[in-house]
Amino acid sequence: MSRVGRKQIVIEDKVKVALEGSLIKVEGPKGKFSRNVDNCLDVKIEDKQIFISRKDDTRRSRAIHGLTRALVQNMVIGVSTGFTRELEFTGVGYRATQAGNTIVFNLGYSHPIMFELPEGVSCDIDKNKITLKCSDKQVLGEAAATIRSFRGPEPYKGKGLKYLEEHIRRKEGKKMIG
């Protein structure tokens, strides 16, 4: 049995969950999501908790049991509190400014990089730190990964864009012999 899949999902007071056949709908103060649950899984809502179990023990149902539970939990957390992702940039002259729904990056290239934020993603820029907020974890992760790809961290001086909690393994530079 999946360790992740057998855990129940606790529903907060401000979140409404409805089950219509194989479609689960989650609604809260930060938005609403819906997702089809595979027919080899069984979903029950009881006492402000969601239980997801397998109907059979086939390879497919075992494979998607924990995944489905994690996706439903991300929906519940997203509509209640939302998700944040923080990026930090290091380097002389590296900066970012926000103009409406667009972030303009100056990252040492000969041109500025314009990034249009996806719908639902908000951004706060503070000196060398960018905080992205969204209720959809997948959209937030894709936006953060795209931003990081503009100038990934390099291992010698540590310059570039990196996630705040990310640790960059530093390399030693060339040595003079003689």
In tens digits, the chain (178 residues) has pLDDT values of 568 888 999 999 999 999 998 899 999 999 999 999 999 999 999 999 999 999 998 999 988 999 999 999 999 999 999 999 999 988 888 999 999 899 999 998 999 999 999 999 999 999 899 999 999 999 999 999 999 999 999 999 889 999 999 898 989 888 878 6
CATH number of the domain where residue 145 is located: 3.90.930.12
168 belongs to a structural domain: no
- pLDDT the model gives residue 83: 96
Other C-beta atoms within 10 Å of 12: how many? 13
Domain-ending residue, one of 37, 65, 80: 80
Note whether 159 and 88 are same-domain residues.
yes
Quick: pLDDT tens for 79-96.
Answer: 999 999 999 988 888 999
Note whether 63 and 49 are same-domain residues.
yes
Specify the number of domains making up the chain.
2
State the greatest distance between any 2 C-alpha atoms of the chain, in Å, as a whole number.
76
Note whether 73 and 99 are same-domain residues.
no
- pLDDT the model gives residue 20: 92
- pLDDT the model gives residue 178: 63
Note whether 159 and 87 are same-domain residues.
yes
- pLDDT the model gives residue 1: 57
Note whether 139 and 89 are same-domain residues.
yes
173 belongs to a structural domain: no
What range does the domain containing 112 cover? 83-163
Note whether 93 and 148 are same-domain residues.
yes
Quick: pLDDT tens for 114-140.
Answer: 999 999 999 999 989 999 999 999 999
Note whether 126 and 74 are same-domain residues.
no
Q: What is the pTM of this model?
A: 0.87
3 belongs to a structural domain: no
- pLDDT the model gives residue 88: 94
136 belongs to a structural domain: yes
149 belongs to a structural domain: yes
Note whether 73 and 90 are same-domain residues.
no
- pLDDT the model gives residue 176: 79
- pLDDT the model gives residue 146: 96
Q: What's the full length of the chain, in residues? A: 178
Which residue spans within 91-144 are E strands per DSSP? 95-99, 102-106, 113-116, 122-126, 129-134
Place of tokens 């040492």: 108
| Buried/exposed code over 143-168 (b: 16+ C-beta within 10 A; e: otherwise) | bbeebbebbebeeeeebbbbbeeeeb
